[in-house]
Amino acid sequence: MPDSANVNQFDAILLNGDDNVAVATRPLPAGAQVTAAGGQCGGETAVTITSPIGRGHKIALRQIAAGEPVIKYGQPIGLATTNIALGDHVHSHNLAVGKLAADFAPASAIPDPPEPITDRTFDGYLRPGGKAGTRNYVAVISTVNCSASVSRYIVDRFDRSELAKYPNVDGLLALTHGTGCGIQFGGQVHEVLNRTLGGMARHANIGAFLLVGLGCEQGTMGYLVDQQRLVQIDGFASADGGPPILSMQDCGGTLATVEAGIKKLAELLPRANDVRRQPLPLSKLIVGNECGGSDGFSGITANPAVGIASDMIVAAGGTSIIAETPELFGAEQLLTRRARTPEVAQTLLDRLAWWQQYTGFFGAELDNNPSSGNKEGGLTTIYEKSLGAVAKAGSTALEAVYQYAEPVTTSGLVVMDTPGYDPVSVTGMVAGGANVVVFTTGRGSCFGCKPTPSIKVATNTPMYERMRDDMDINAGEVLSGHPLVEVGREIFEQIIAVASGRQTRSEVHGIGDEEFVPWQPGPTL
């Protein structure tokens, strides 16, 4: 991938000397004489374009026979479905996933630990039990969709002038969702929902919370409180020793519950306000990494830059999470080889096998993952998308694999099993404890996820300029010769600043109230 070399002088980027395709840096017309260079190859390849090729799309650098692997990042991204000539556009019309063999070699290439970073801190909120918050919200958490409107009414109808009395509180937040009933009691969907709701209630960015239910739902309030041990959370107990709870049926309906909820918030706000930011070690940072609206530059600029920042977080003793398991398919061998143990590697492989079975049950395939926007931006197969996505993992050892919304307790690089859909994936990482999110985008995703700030990193400069009100960092500068390592360091510094209170663009716009979307991996009954 490009680093310090000025690749802007070239029309296309060659990422690896073994590649038989390059990536166009600008729209290329048919008949254009172009040069591909950069990356690890150290040389240049001249080619004549046979048909128009868009920015971020692939150019064949030599003849590729039907059935032959197409190589990008030094890895196969699929098989040619027809003979491809030198200078041809390589995309969905002549490239498909095919069946490829991978050597997973579990725990065969465990990297040495990075040089420790010991002299940096951030200003955060130290919570009981030692967790660290980067924000301080008061949340109204709906346990079932039937109480979603009431939960939002409680927040919306609270007298906002009262919040001025509590300068250490970032705001009120209604966490609502579309499930909580029509599920098997104690089944997979119920357990995933409970982990998610419990993780949000316990989250270090939540200074106080109120649970609101209907009263007859399958996802019972009592089971949630007991299973997630919410009664043991310091500072949130009500008079009976449990967390603040409201049942609409017990309160007497909508209006009575809203009135009771507003009174509860008035009681919770002083408790949540009784906290101050203080210097904390970076080891208390848990960074969730996501890519959404990806394009052909995601794996060249933003994602590898995030990988550099990830390595620095790990070097400081913190935790870096990558997720979106379906978007690791075809690149999992790059993680299994550096898994800390064969067992960690096998856990990841087991999750990928589960996803193939799960999607197959519904008549879907993992290669359906690249969206129409992804493909318009130059991505063709899930292998290609995954190889670019896994760059967010940097170069450190893989320490653990977690279930969706499972509390993340391991330092270092970890995987969380989530779907690729951004709101669902980020919800799982935040419920697992992520107190900062870094979100890369090539097409232009306008994402936020309260209570955790989301730093958005653009993969290319034209999109960054067009949508700069939503972007925090422009990694597209790499395509103009800005060193990749410097962009990675910029992301690292931005993580520290945001963790210390600097608002992200999505926070400035108030985005993040609607992006709480728990995963529902099963039937609705």
**pLDDT higher than 70, residue 400:** yes
Q: What is the pTM of this model?
A: 0.94
Q: Is the CATH code 3.40.50 the one for domain 129-273?
A: yes
Q: Give the Å distances, CA to CA, from 65 to 46, 50, 326, 441.
A: 20, 17, 29, 33
Look up residue 84 and give its DSSP letter: B
Residue 1's pLDDT band (cuts 50, 70, 90): very low
**pLDDT higher than 70, residue 237:** no
> What number is the average pLDDT over the span 41-59?
86
> What tens digit of pLDDT does each residue of 78-132 get?
999 999 999 999 999 999 998 877 889 999 999 999 999 999 999 999 999 999 9
Look up residue 127 and give its DSSP letter: P
Please report, for the chain, the start and end positions of each structural domain, with discontinuous segments joined by +.
Answer: 7-96, 129-273, 308-508
> What tens digit of pLDDT does each residue of 456-479 get?
999 999 999 999 999 999 999 999
pLDDT of residue 100: 77
Asked if 34 contacts 7 with a C-beta cutoff of 8 angstroms, the reply is: no
Per-residue three-class SS string for 176-200: CCCCCCCCCCCCHHHHHHHHHHHHH
> What tens digit of pLDDT does each residue of 351-371 get?
999 999 999 888 887 776 678
CATH topology assigned to domain 7-96: 2.30.130
Measured distance CA(437)–CA(390) in Å, rounded: 16
pLDDT of residue 284: 98
Per-residue three-class SS string for 270-335: HHHHCCCCEEEEHHHCEEEEEECCCCCCCCCCHHHHHHHHHHHHHHCCCEEEECCHHHHCCCCHHH
Instruction: Return the percentage of the chain with pLDDT > 70, whole number.
Output: 95
pLDDT of residue 10: 74
pLDDT of residue 8: 43
> What tens digit of pLDDT does each residue of 405-441 get?
999 999 999 999 999 999 999 999 999 999 999 999 9
Residue 238's pLDDT band (cuts 50, 70, 90): low
What is the overall mean pLDDT for the chain? 93
Task: Give phi and psi for 143, each to the nearest 5.
Answer: -85, -15
CA dihedral 359, 363, 366, 370 (to 10 degrees): -120
pLDDT of residue 46: 87
pLDDT of residue 4: 34
Asked if 519 contacts 180 with a C-beta cutoff of 8 angstroms, the reply is: no
Q: Give the Å distances, CA to CA, from 503 to 353, 438, 451, 456.
A: 39, 13, 12, 12
pLDDT of residue 233: 55
> Quick count: other Cβ atoms within 10 Å of Cβ 514?
12
> What number is the average pLDDT over the span 314-327?
97
> Quick count: other Cβ atoms within 10 Å of Cβ 433?
25
Q: Give the Å distances, CA to CA, from 276 to 123, 241, 287, 385.
A: 9, 25, 22, 42
